[in-house]
Structure 1
Amino acid sequence: MTHPFRQLLLAFTVLSSASLSAAEFHPYVSAFGGIEFASQSDIYGHNPAGVVRDIDVEYKNAFAWGLALGTTFYQSEYGQLSAEFEYASRELKTDSLSLNHVSRDLNGSAGNELAINSFMLNLVYETPELIDRLRLSAGIGAGVAHLDYDINYLVNNARVPTQINLRDTANPFAYQLMVGASYAINDDFSVLTGLKYFAVRDHDIDRYKLNNGPGLESVLNASFENSWTWSAGVRYTF
């Protein structure tokens, strides 16, 4: 074996060992819960007569929770990368509603909520351990959100107030941005905390008149935005 060939074989062996070390897989499962705040829906369109319907819905702060199953797939002196599947649930109660910038009364005798179940694929970067066992993280996710609207309000433009129901289900594209921190209690368990921005692509929502009208009146365009969630949780690494 020639001397240059021995050197090439040695270099290949070293690189292969480094690649295998960098590509170590560490599966994990995590659970989290927290507070969703500042979320709102912007609903816009026209009724059959061409009159603008500009509806702004603000939601109360609500509990959000979720589970994630993933694995670390790359490690180096600069940190580590993980890929995970995440399920999260939010049930948002309507706090206030305006129609064409005029505040409207909610119909207290009917439901007033937006339920969201999201199914996301996340890519997460974690720094090396900074202080003791503390790591910082940042991530991005994309997937699908199942939205279930049931929002009711009153329009007092007749002798008997018109009862309006915004009701529909949709499964639009969703994305999220995340920052957080983790602290390793031991080699298996870590505690987590983080802040997440969540949004979905525009989608349709039906507007019904429950009285004084024809039932389904119009189909409007809806967006869900400004959704922020602070959460805390635990992670177990196998």
Structure 2
Amino acid sequence: MQPFLVLLIMITVLFAPDSSAAANKKYFSLMAGPSFRTDADSSFSGSRVAGNPGGEQDVDIGAVGGVAAGMYLPDHLRVEAELALRNNEVGEPLPGFQDWNVGAVTLMVNGYYDIPLHHAIQPFVGAGMGLGLATSSLEDNFGFSDTDTETVFTYQLMGGAQYRHNDRLTFFTAYRYFATTDPDFQFGGVRAATQINSHDWIFGVRFDFE
């Protein structure tokens, strides 16, 4: 319950209407890119699995996309609320199983520092934290399939560069390291404990409001 409370307080502070916030410019952004999830250290157990196998699973390149709404703060700072979606497929999950997809829908609060340089291209760094709904589907070679979800705590570290095209429009690209607490999925006879960590490369556009 504590992560939910922390996230709620951060979002409330971000969008609370007060006299100082009214003077700060707001923005909306869109982003998407490839997600390189690290090989997952997974373990399996249950009545449909023999021998409780485990170990690293090869993960295919996936995708990430999302939207964010935020505001500019003094001292080259920004803060935003972000809704994002990630998904990856495991190459060879287990003998007898053909498909295993793992993804997450996340709601995060991100903070950025725009490094002040007198140049059209400006670097930035940032970090974020929040909550995610991890979702996984598993299918074997005999027609059995099931889906499970689990709430996880999420965090990410970011670094990139942005180009301000005009007073309203900014293009950006960034590297992100994304991670969650380890989900534990249940698939009706199969228990799969795994990890969700990824190296993402995103491309996006930001629209400023007056």
Does the pair score TM above 0.5? yes
**Secondary structure of residue in 1 paired with 2:116:** coil
Aligned to 1:119: 107
| Whole-angstrom distance in 1 between the partners of 2:56 and 2:145 | 14
Aligned to 1:34: 33
Q: Is the 1:29–1:236 contact (alpha carbons within 8 Å) kept by the matching residues of 2?
A: yes
| Whole-angstrom distance in 1 between the partners of 2:56 and 2:144 | 14
Q: What do you get for the CA RMSD once the two structures are aligned?
A: 2.9
For structure 1, which runs of at least 5 residues remain unmatched after alignment?
Answer: 1-19, 99-103, 155-161, 209-215
For structure 2, which runs of at least 5 residues remain unmatched after alignment?
Answer: 1-18
Q: Is the 1:25–1:71 contact (alpha carbons within 8 Å) kept by the matching residues of 2?
A: yes
Alpha-carbon offset, residue 37 of structure 1:
1.3
TM-score by length of 1: 0.69
Among all aligned residue pairs of Structure 1 and Structure 2, give the percentage whose two residues are the same amino acid: 24
**Secondary structure of residue in 2 paired with 1:128:** coil
Aligned-partner residue type, residue 96 of structure 1? E
| Whole-angstrom distance in 2 between the partners of 1:31 and 1:151 | 30
Q: Is the 2:37–2:196 contact (alpha carbons within 8 Å) kept by the matching residues of 1?
A: no
| Whole-angstrom distance in 2 between the partners of 1:186 and 1:51 | 60
| Whole-angstrom distance in 1 between the partners of 2:97 and 2:43 | 18
Aligned to 2:196: 224
Aligned to 1:185: 165
Alpha-carbon offset, residue 61 of structure 1:
1.2
TM-score by length of 2: 0.77
Number of positions where the alignment pairs a residue of Structure 1 with one of Structure 2: 189
Q: Which structure has the larger Rg over C-alpha atoms?
A: 1
Alpha-carbon offset, residue 230 of structure 1:
0.5
- Asked if 1:74 is matched to 2:74, the reply is yes
Alpha-carbon offset, residue 199 of structure 1:
0.7
Alpha-carbon offset, residue 83 of structure 1:
0.7
Aligned to 2:64: 64
Task: Map 1:11-30; keep pairs closer than 5 Å.
Answer: 25-30=24-29
| Whole-angstrom distance in 2 between the partners of 1:57 and 1:165 | 19
Residues 220 and 97 (structure 1 numbering): CA distance in 2 closer, same or farther, change over 3 Å? closer
| Whole-angstrom distance in 2 between the partners of 1:178 and 1:199 | 12
Alpha-carbon offset, residue 58 of structure 1:
2.8
Q: Is the 2:66–2:84 contact (alpha carbons within 8 Å) kept by the matching residues of 1?
A: yes
- Asked if 1:201 is matched to 2:188, the reply is no
Alpha-carbon offset, residue 164 of structure 1:
7.2
Deviation string 1:12-65 (CA, Å, 9 cap, x unpaired) is: xxxxxxxx99x9612111101111114343322654799543153332212221
Task: Map 1:146-185; keep pairs closer than 5 Å.
Answer: 146-153=133-140, 167-185=147-165
Q: Tell which deviates more after alignment, 34-43 or 141-150.
A: 34-43
Q: Is the 1:193–1:230 contact (alpha carbons within 8 Å) kept by the matching residues of 2?
A: yes
Aligned to 2:12: none
Alpha-carbon offset, residue 220 of structure 1:
4.4
Choose from 139, 149, 154 the match for 2:126. 139
| Whole-angstrom distance in 1 between the partners of 2:179 and 2:92 | 20
| Whole-angstrom distance in 1 between the partners of 2:44 and 2:97 | 20
| Whole-angstrom distance in 2 between the partners of 1:27 and 1:57 | 42
Choose from 71, 80, 85 the match for 1:84. 80
Structure showing the higher strand proportion among its residues: 1
